[in-house]
Structure formats: C-alpha cells, structure tokens
Amino acid sequence: MKKKILSSMWVMGVLAFAVFCLSACDRELDVQQSYPFTLETMPVQKDISKGQTAEIRCTLRRGGEFADTRYTIRYFQPDGKGTLKMDDGTVFKPNDRYPITKDVFRLYYTSLSTDRQTIDVYVEDSFGKMQQLTFSFNNEKAEDKGKSAAVATKVLNDANG
C-alpha cells in the first residue's frame, strides 16, 4: 500500500512538472529582427578645392543578419556647396533617402565652392536605428596645403531607446 501511494505521488509529481513546463512554453518563435550596425570609412582626404572630388570608402558592418532589414542613406550639407554621388552613379539630392544595396560601397563628394564644406551622412535601417557621419573639408589653397585636417565624426542614434 505504501508503494502504491509513493508510486501515485511520483506519477502526480511528474504530471505536475510536465503541465508546468508545457504551460510556460510560448508557441511563437522569438526571432530577433533588429541588430546594431555601424558605417565604417577609410580615411578621407583633408583638403578639397572647387571642382575636386573626394572618395569616401564605406563598409556597412552588421551586428547580425535579418533578411528583411533595409538600409537607406541620405545627406545634408550645412556648410559650403557640393554634390554627393554613389559609386553606381546615383547623384544624391539633400535629405532624400536612397537604398544601400551592398555592404561595401563608395561615395564621391565633389566640391562646388571655395568655402569650408561640411556634409552629414545618415544611414538608417528599417527599424529606426541610425548612424550619422560628418565630413568636414577645408578649401585647398596653395599656401595652406598641409595645414588643415578633414574631420569625420560618428553619431549613433537608436530610435528604439
């Protein structure tokens, strides 16, 4: 009789454990969709003169892969005047978004002024995460060569917190 009670208690314990474990399960698969990313660039030339083009070599580094993640690029020019172009020939209009279709690409900035020039480049993913790069160029004059430096700064912004 004692064995029957212990056996019944053991069976009840196993059943209770099974019910507990199965009720804690969620039938939906938890898939991470949003991953951090960075936009890395090679060093950029320090000075630029009117009509000259500076190459900006870029690499999009993803913290993970999700097939439906889309990346876009846009720019704004607070100082000076120039044009920005993608290596596929797309000429950017300020603040318009353009798709990034590959992880390694080049941008070409052409100076259209003799003033100091600054461009802010923004890369955003389809989940609201953004990275900003700022490039500053000084006007290249014969007497000023070697005295100025280009500045590239990164600003990270995560719209999700």
pLDDT digits (tens, 9 = 90+) for 73-111: 999 999 999 999 999 999 999 999 999 999 999 999 999
Burial of 104 (0-12, 13-18, 19+ CB in 10 A): exposed
Calpha distance 86→126 (Å, rounded)? 20
Fold for the domain defined by 37-158:
Immunoglobulin-like (2.60.40)
Question: What type of residue sits at position 23?
Answer: S
Task: Tabulate helix, strand, coil % of the chain (nearest 5).
Answer: 15, 45, 40
| pLDDT over threshold 50, residue 134 | yes
Using CA atoms, how far apart are residues 118 and 136, in angstroms rounded to an integer? 4
Q: What span, in angstroms and rounded, lies between the C-alpha atoms of 99 and 73?
A: 6
The predicted pLDDT at position 157 comes to 53
pLDDT at 115 over 80: yes
* pLDDT exceeds 50 at position 21: yes
Q: Which tokens hold the place of 17?
A: 């454990």
The helix (H) or strand (E) run that includes residue 75 is strand 71-79
CA distance 32 to 29: 10
Burial 10-39 (b: 16+ CB within 10 A, else e): eeeeeeeeeeeeeeeeeeeeeeeebeebeb
